[in-house]
Amino acid sequence: MLRIDRSIYDQIVAHARRDHPDEACGVVAGPEGSDRPERFIQMVNAERSPTFYRFDSLEQLKVWRGMDDRDEVPVVIYHSHTATEAYPSRTDISYASEPETHYVLVSTRDADTIEFRSYRIIDGVVTEEPVEITGAG
Amino acid sequence: MAIEVRIPTILRNLTDGAKAVDGEGSTLSELITDLDKKYPGIAARLVDNGQLRRFINIYLNDEDVRFLGGIDSPVADGDTVTVLPAVAGGMR
């Protein structure tokens, strides 16, 4: 189960919409061991592509150091699919390496519908989990 | 002095949980070979057929080694090497 605050949920969806038709990506950091996504970090898609995303490696280093300094981990890693459903692709699965991370997929294929889904991806096995939106909304 | 190597979560099972370990060498390749003696298996997670794996980013101080000399990048005592999992994917 992913519990995520409404304001962060909205920021992820807004980022995905803004970058459409390219894929958008980013991280929500949270205190180590807390499983609470608290600090929204929008990342550059170094590929600037509608079919692929990759964190810019130098930006990633900066962001990961920032998390280290604060004893945070990437509680959520999100990206968007712009023409297909919000389900991990083969490429997504092959790159997924963090067993503690919630992998969030947003699809922007339909401008009027929000598709926001969350997964655990461990050793190539995808398990979808419920998303609970918390806070004022 | 040695070279500090920062280890990502996914590889800490090979370093007894250590977030950072020390190694030696005059190139990144030699450093990885040295690490593999102390932490067997780590080289195979970083290198495949003599090339850095595409699922892994390795940084020398503040630079991605892909923009330096790759696995042949020179390293020296006092340098910090950081290993991170690459984050990527896409619709296909």
Name the phi and psi angles at A63, rounded to 5. Answer: -65, -40
> How high is the ipTM of this complex?
0.91
Mean pLDDT of A100-106: 96
Q: Is A84 on the interface with B (CB under 8 A)?
A: yes
What is the domain partition of chain A in residue ranges? 2-134
Judged by CB atoms closer than 8 Å, whether chains meet at B55 and A97 is answered as yes
pLDDT above 70: percentage of residues in chain A: 99
Q: Chain A residue closest to B45 (CA)?
A: A97
Judged by CB atoms closer than 8 Å, whether chains meet at B84 and A98 is answered as no
Is residue A79 within 8 A of residue A116, CB to CB? The reply is no
Q: Does the pLDDT of residue B91 top 90, yes or no?
A: no
Judged by CB atoms closer than 8 Å, whether chains meet at A79 and B91 is answered as no
Mean pLDDT score of chain B: 94
The CA distances from residue A107 to A38, A67, A84, A110, A125, in Å, are 22, 27, 7, 8, 21
Distance from CA of A68 to the nearest CA of B (A): 10
| Pairing, β A25-31 against β A72-81 | antiparallel
Domains and CATH numbers, chain B: 3-85 (3.10.20.30)
Q: Does the pLDDT of residue A28 top 60, yes or no?
A: yes
Residue-level pLDDT at A37: 98
Give, for A116, the enclosing helix (H) or strand (E).
Answer: strand A115-122
Judged by CB atoms closer than 8 Å, whether chains meet at B64 and A57 is answered as yes
Enter the pTM of the model: 0.93
pLDDT above 70: percentage of residues in chain B: 99
Query: Which residues of chain B neighbour A60 with C-beta distances below 8 Å?
Result: 57, 84, 87
Domain A2-134 = CATH 3.40.140.10: yes
Residue A70 corresponds to which amino acid? R
Q: Chain B residue closest to A98 (CA)?
A: B10
pLDDT tens-place string over residues B15-33: 999 999 999 999 999 999 9
